[in-house]
Amino acid sequence: MKKNYIVFLTAAVILGAVPFAGCNTVQQPTEDIKIVDEGSDTKCEITGYTDLSEKFGSYFPEKGDKIAVISPSALPTKEQKDATVEGLKSWGYTPVEGKYVCVEERTLENCIEDLEWALNDPEIKAIYCVRGGHASSEVMDELPIELIASADKPIIGYSDISVYHSAWSVAGLPSVHASMSAAFMGLPEECAEAESHLIRGEVPSYKCAASGYDKEGKAEGVLIGGNLSTVLTVLNTEYDVTNIDKPYILFLEDVDINTEYVHRCLTVLKHEGVLDKAAGIVFGEWTEFAPYCDTYSGNSRGGEFKSMADMISRQFVKDTGIPVAFGFPAGHGETNYPLLMGENVTLDVKKDGFTLEWDQ
């Protein structure tokens, strides 16, 4: 017999502290709480580029091609939109603005319309997102995977755009995890240059310094993931990339969070089998978080957590048999190196650091 049930939900709000979900930070005035970044200063070197343009044919845009400029998540400012348009011109492309990319307000249908236009127009060769934000999953709930597959063109962005990276990977297409308007608004030159290469199918190989928490080993698989909070929203949907029947390397990063929140998110991924199915894991940047969380400081788990990497290492990958790397400089920090999602990558973690290299 089918049973009916009632769902009861509550949300805690901590007053008088920084607005992190479920974390009562150090007992002091908000303005005195130190906010830190972790991973954004990891020493990272581009060791070369792999040209995949021949492998993918006309999939990646060439100079002069039209690129759709849309925001299939939250609305950007005019400054962000203009910077993106002018930046793409400086890279040699022809940007074409979506009808609803930068308006005072819009509906979900308007957002879907812009993305469908970008996918359906044969003259558009790539889709560049101006910003992330929230609610990309609402768009993907209405968008058939078949439309993405038939469009056969890359999408560029990160953060909430991780929803689309998941959908593109399910459709069997690569996508570009990279800065959006920030690429043209103060992103370090080496990151912006790497992004300009990747958009045209030249994939950078990386060598990064060790974190002290890495787990040695070597693995190969499809690179999936992105923003941790956003990855949770794709679970058990038609565009859930964690259900692909291929080995995968999982990449995760987040912003404006704390150890307790990350612990809860990773617990969900653990219970869903996402961590266990991974051939390897790369953790990126954890930015703008309070380093101490008295409701989950680590004192109840063997001693105070020294960092986010320390917490994850002790609580989730302590006895893992797969390679795990911490601190790849991609995410919401000042540095944001681009990544090719949905394609095979080799993660090689050694005592002195780790490398990421894509198959040719």
- Residue 198 contacts residue 228 (beta carbons within 8 Å): no
- Residue 23 contacts residue 290 (beta carbons within 8 Å): yes
Return the pLDDT at 47.
98
Q: Count of CB atoms within 10 A of residue 212's CB?
A: 12
With 0-12 / 13-18 / 19 or more C-beta atoms within 10 angstroms meaning exposed / middle / buried, residue 264 is middle
Residue 280: inside a domain: yes
Reading the block at residue 71, the tokens are 């925001």
CA angle (127, 60, 348) in 5-degree steps: 105
Residue 171: inside a domain: yes
| Nearest CA-CA partner of 26 in 290, 263, 301, 303 | 290
- Residue 248 contacts residue 222 (beta carbons within 8 Å): yes
Supply the CATH number for residue 98's domain. 3.40.50.10740
Residue 9: inside a domain: no
Return the pLDDT at 4.
76
Residue 7: inside a domain: no
Burial pattern 236-254, b for ≥16 Cβ within 10 A else e, equals ebebbbbbbeeebbbbbbb
Residue 2: inside a domain: no
Return the pLDDT at 48.
97
The model scores a pTM over 0.75: yes
Kindly report, residue by residue over 69-109, the tens digit of the pLDDT. 999 999 999 999 999 999 999 999 999 999 999 999 999 99
Half-sphere exposure of 143 (CA within 13 A, CB side): 33
Q: What is the mean pLDDT of residues 240-247?
A: 96
Provide the domain count of the chain: 1
Half-sphere exposure of 264 (CA within 13 A, CB side): 10
Residue 337 CA to its chain's centroid (Å): 11
Instruction: Out of 15-29, 31-45, 320-334, pick the least confident.
Output: 15-29
What rounded mean pLDDT belongs to the chain? 92
Query: Which residue range forms the structural domain that includes residue 227?
Result: 37-358
Which residue in this structure is represented by tokens 């459709």?
171
pLDDT class of 33 with cuts at 50, 70, 90: low
- Residue 203 contacts residue 338 (beta carbons within 8 Å): no
Half-sphere exposure of 22 (CA within 13 A, CB side): 13
Return the pLDDT at 32.
60
Kindly report, residue by residue over 254-299, the tens digit of the pLDDT. 999 999 999 999 999 999 999 999 999 999 999 999 888 988 999 9
Q: What is the mean pLDDT of residues 318-329?
A: 96
Q: Using CA atoms, how far apart are residues 165 and 206, in angstroms rounded to an integer?
A: 20
36 membership: H or E segment, kind and range: strand 36-38
Residue 3: inside a domain: no
Q: Using CA atoms, how far apart are residues 177 and 139, in angstroms rounded to an integer?
A: 19
The DSSP-derived string for 59-74 is SS--TT-EEEEE-SSS
Return the pLDDT at 7.
72
Which residue in this structure is represented by tokens 């797969």?
322
Q: Parallel, antiparallel, or unpaired for β 124-129 and 155-157? A: parallel
Whether residue 18 is predicted with pLDDT greater than 60 in this model: the reply is: no
H helix runs in the chain, sequence order: 53-56, 78-90, 108-120, 136-140, 145-151, 162-170, 189-199, 228-234, 259-271, 274-277, 308-315
Residue 305: inside a domain: yes
Reading the block at residue 101, the tokens are 């990319």
Residue 8: inside a domain: no
Kindly report, residue by residue over 112-170, the tens digit of the pLDDT. 999 999 999 999 999 999 999 998 999 999 999 999 999 999 999 999 999 999 999 99
Instruction: Out of 15-24, 228-237, 277-286, 337-346, pick the least confident.
Output: 15-24
